[in-house]
Amino acid sequence: MTDLAQRYHIAGSTAGAIAASIETAVRAGGLQPGDRLPTVRGLAGELGVSPVTVAAAYRRLTDRGLLSAAGRRGTSVCAGPPLPTTATTVVPAGVRDLANGNPDPALLPDLRAALRRLSLPRQMYGDEANRPDLLELAAAELRADGIATGALAVTGGAMDGIERTLQAHLRAGDRVAVEDPVYPAVRDLLGALGIGLEPVAVDDRGPLPEELARALARGATACLVTPRAQNPTGAALDRARAAELRAVLDGHPGVLLVEDDHGGSVSGVPALTLTSGHDGPWAVLRSAAKTLGPDLRLAVLAGDPTTVARVDGRQRLGTGWVSHLLQEAVVTLWRDPATARLLARAAAAYTERREALIAALATHGLRAQGRSGLNVWVPVPEEVGTVQGLLARGWAVRGGERYRIRSGPAIRVTVAALPPEEAPRLAADVAGVVRGSGRTGTA
């Protein structure tokens, strides 16, 4: 056996047994994300089985999103397999964590105070799944942003809503147009569902129309758009870009359109939508995670009646409903004028922090993106060295590899809790690390 097969106990005489042994190794931490597996013929020879059997095992795990096949580069464990793994990221003591993507805790409402005001209703089987007062509050906000509210549902967060929407319309083998760079959880989710992706390059104003047109022409039957606070680049639609993208979608009737507005009111820019007049199924997700706190796993989904009915109906067969304790907590916070004032302050603070870092980087000849949201995206010549160099200087940032499909190397800096007065020091350290690589970082 190869060292890899022996060390990770890859064994079995059937495709199912071989796949199970690989899955066990991934779950136990013996195989780590990114590890390359033996070739099909090599492993078949060592196990004494047909290459067809090994190929079938690899294909099973590839269809489930555990493995990734890259042609001549071989087969490897996906970066984010749909399993609990032992892989963790630990920020050393004394290092500023600008890699976590979290909102500033100081700019989130006090959940303890809100919970003390709850009436603690007793939700019983057969009761209404979605609180009418939650839907009414969400509908008023959505209508103000030009989004139709004839059909609404409540999901367990934005990613839960995205997954349910995709499953309502797509099947394994279909392809989705996604932003490039893209939020890694979206990429991992698509892999787990057996759905392919078509990358669409973005700039500060969102997806490039010609890129979206190309992705749809290549056979994408759905597109996933982040209208503001795009993670990781901070891109946000403006009216001109939204009109251009609508024109592209008009040429492809029937395409499923999903908008992930996870940043909501703290994004720092107005909400815009591509759904108005869309000739096809659509859904818009508004999450409470970035505004009210990540542990409030709740999002409101607006969409066409068929999509919402499918999402809501499938949820009733499984989890049944999103906890009414969570729903009431969101209603309580949304109705509190203090929450509105805090969220306005958060939006202003995040904008100030993004702009401070972008301006500080510009003084060193480094360009960056961050028109909205919690993050700034900084192109660099080389990611691993930049991340390591900044770690040595006391900053933890996220390398761009997990986000990129075809776009160039970069780092993501979460500025949500970075005071503007610290931006010049961070920018100087980024410039110092980049200059140490012997390149300018401005390309």
> Which segment of 124-128, 277-281, 286-290, 305-309 scores lowest on mean pLDDT?
124-128
Section 309-328 average pLDDT: 93
Three-class secondary structure of residue 112 per DSSP: helix
Dist. CA 161–CA 185, nearest whole Å: 13
Tokens of 167: 């499953």
Chain-centroid distance of CA 315 in Å reads: 21
Contacting residues for 64 by C-beta, under 8 A, at least 6 apart = 82, 192, 194
Residue ranges matching CATH 3.90.1150.10 in the chain: 96-105+339-436
Q: What is the reported pLDDT for 441?
A: 40
Q: What is the reported pLDDT for 233?
A: 98
> Which segment of 7-21, 317-331, 387-401 scores lowest on mean pLDDT?
7-21
pLDDT at 123 over 90: no
pLDDT at 255 over 80: yes
pLDDT at 394 over 80: yes
Q: What is the reported pLDDT for 119?
A: 84
Q: How many CB atoms lie within 10 A of CB 296?
A: 21
Q: What is the reported pLDDT for 442?
A: 39
Q: Which of 257, 246, 310 is nearest to 280 (CA)?
A: 257
Dist. CA 142–CA 106, nearest whole Å: 26
Tokens of 161: 């809503």
pLDDT at 243 over 90: yes
Band (33; pLDDT cuts 50, 70, 90): confident
Section 133-150 average pLDDT: 97
The conformation of residue 114, written as its DSSP 8-state character, comes to: H
Band (292; pLDDT cuts 50, 70, 90): very high
Section 200-221 average pLDDT: 98
Dist. CA 62–CA 56, nearest whole Å: 10
Between residues 43 and 2, which one has the greater pLDDT? Answer: 43
Dist. CA 376–CA 233, nearest whole Å: 6
Angle between helices 158-169 and 184-192 (to 10 degrees): 40
- The CATH architecture annotation of domain 3-77 reads Orthogonal Bundle (1.10)
Which is it for the CA torsion 120, 138, 233, 420, positive or negative?
negative
Between residues 79 and 20, which one has the greater pLDDT? Answer: 20
Contacts 24+ apart (CB under 8 A), 53-61: 53/13, 53/14, 53/15, 53/18, 54/15, 54/18, 56/15, 57/12, 57/15, 57/16, 57/18, 57/19, 57/22, 58/19, 60/15, 60/16, 60/19, 61/19, 61/22, 61/23
Between residues 25 and 209, which one has the greater pLDDT? Answer: 209
Q: What is the reported pLDDT for 439?
A: 46
Dist. CA 366–CA 360, nearest whole Å: 9
Residue ranges matching CATH 3.40.640.10 in the chain: 113-335
Three-class secondary structure of residue 81 per DSSP: coil
Tokens of 9: 């106990």
Band (148; pLDDT cuts 50, 70, 90): very high
Amino acid identity of 200? V
The conformation of residue 439, written as its DSSP 8-state character, comes to: S
Percent of the chain whose pLDDT exceeds 70: 95
Dist. CA 40–CA 34, nearest whole Å: 17
pLDDT at 200 over 70: yes
Between residues 80 and 77, which one has the greater pLDDT? Answer: 77
CATH number of 113-335: 3.40.640.10
Q: What are the two backbone dihedrals, phi and then psi, of residue 65, each rounded to the nearest 5 degrees?
A: 85, 10
pLDDT at 267 over 90: yes
Tokens of 217: 């022409």
> Which segment of 126-130, 337-341, 417-421 scores lowest on mean pLDDT?
126-130
CATH number of 96-105+339-436: 3.90.1150.10
